[in-house]
Each structure stands twice: as C-alpha cells, then as structure tokens.
C-alpha cells in the first residue's frame, strides 16, 4: 500500500493578508449626506414618468375648463369649480359607459391572453 499525500496548495503571493501581520480592521463609514437640492429635487426615472403623467392629466382638465391665466378676468375659484365639474362629469361618463371600452378591449385581449397561456404552458413550472 502506498500512502498518498494530500495535494499541495498552490503558493499564494505574500500580501498583508497572508504575511501573518495583523491588518487594521476596516470600519464602516457613515453614508454621506445628500445636498439639499438633491434631497428636494432628486427623483427616479419612474417618479419622473409619474410626474409627467400627472402634469398631462391635470393639464387636460385645465384646458377642458378653458382656463387662461393671462386673461385679465381670470377667476381662480371659478376655474377650480369648473375643473371639479369636468372631473365629476368624466367620472360619471366612465361609470355609465365603462362596459363599452371594457367589452371592446376584452374581445381582443382575452383571446390573445388565453392563446399565450396555452402556448407558454409547457414552459411554466
């Protein structure tokens, strides 16, 4: 019977970690504080997209109310009331006619969705 010696480890270069001398422990540094402007106006791309969508939505209602801030007889409370009326009218229209766009979209979306589920069935776990 022959004895086999354990495989020798490859030689490692001598670095402070392997030299046997203790290395100073690294301490965690406190995260740097963000500037006031970055904290105030820092926004993610998703946040910017949501803000843009909100601006467009509000602008739609402002334009629907025929509000012109440059007009000398601009009446802010009346403009806000008109915006509120238009918003309620749009919500009422959506409540009364919700089934029409929902049904029109469902005639296209549901068959495509069912077909996709059937095609992807073998690949799902």
**Among 8-17, 56-65, 111-120, which range has the highest average pLDDT?**
111-120
74 is written with which tokens?
């601009």
14-23, 31-40, 108-117, range with the lowest pLDDT = 14-23
The residue among 11 and 86 whose pLDDT is bigger is 86
pLDDT for residue 73 is more than 60? yes
17-31, 55-69, 83-97, range with the lowest pLDDT = 17-31
Task: Give 36-67 pLDDT, tens digit per residue.
Answer: 777 777 888 898 899 888 888 888 877 877 77
Q: Whole-angstrom distance between the N-terminal and C-terminal Cα of the chain?
A: 52
pLDDT at position 88 is: 92
pLDDT at position 89 is: 92
The CA–CA distances, whole Å, from 81 to 47, 84, 107, 116 equal 29, 5, 38, 47
| pLDDT grade for 22, boundaries at 50, 70 and 90 | low
> Do the beta carbons of residue 47 and residue 30 sit within 8 Å?
no
> Do the beta carbons of residue 67 and residue 79 sit within 8 Å?
yes
pTM of the model: 0.36
């Amino acid at each position: 019977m022959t004895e086999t010696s354990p495989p020798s480890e490859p030689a490692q270069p001598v670095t402070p970690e392997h030299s046997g001398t203790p290395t100073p422990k690294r301490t965690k540094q406190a995260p740097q504080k963000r500037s006031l402007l970055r904290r105030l106006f820092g926004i993610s791309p998703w946040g910017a997209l949501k803000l843009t969508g909100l601006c467009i939505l509000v602008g739609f209602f402002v334009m629907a109310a025929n509000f012109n801030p440059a007009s000398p007889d601009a009446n802010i409370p009346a403009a806000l009331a008109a915006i509120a009326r238009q918003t309620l009218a749009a919500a009422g229209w959506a409540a009364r006619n919700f089934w029409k766009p929902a049904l029109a979209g469902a005639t296209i979306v549901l068959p495509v969705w069912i077909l996709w589920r059937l095609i992807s069935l073998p690949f799902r776990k």
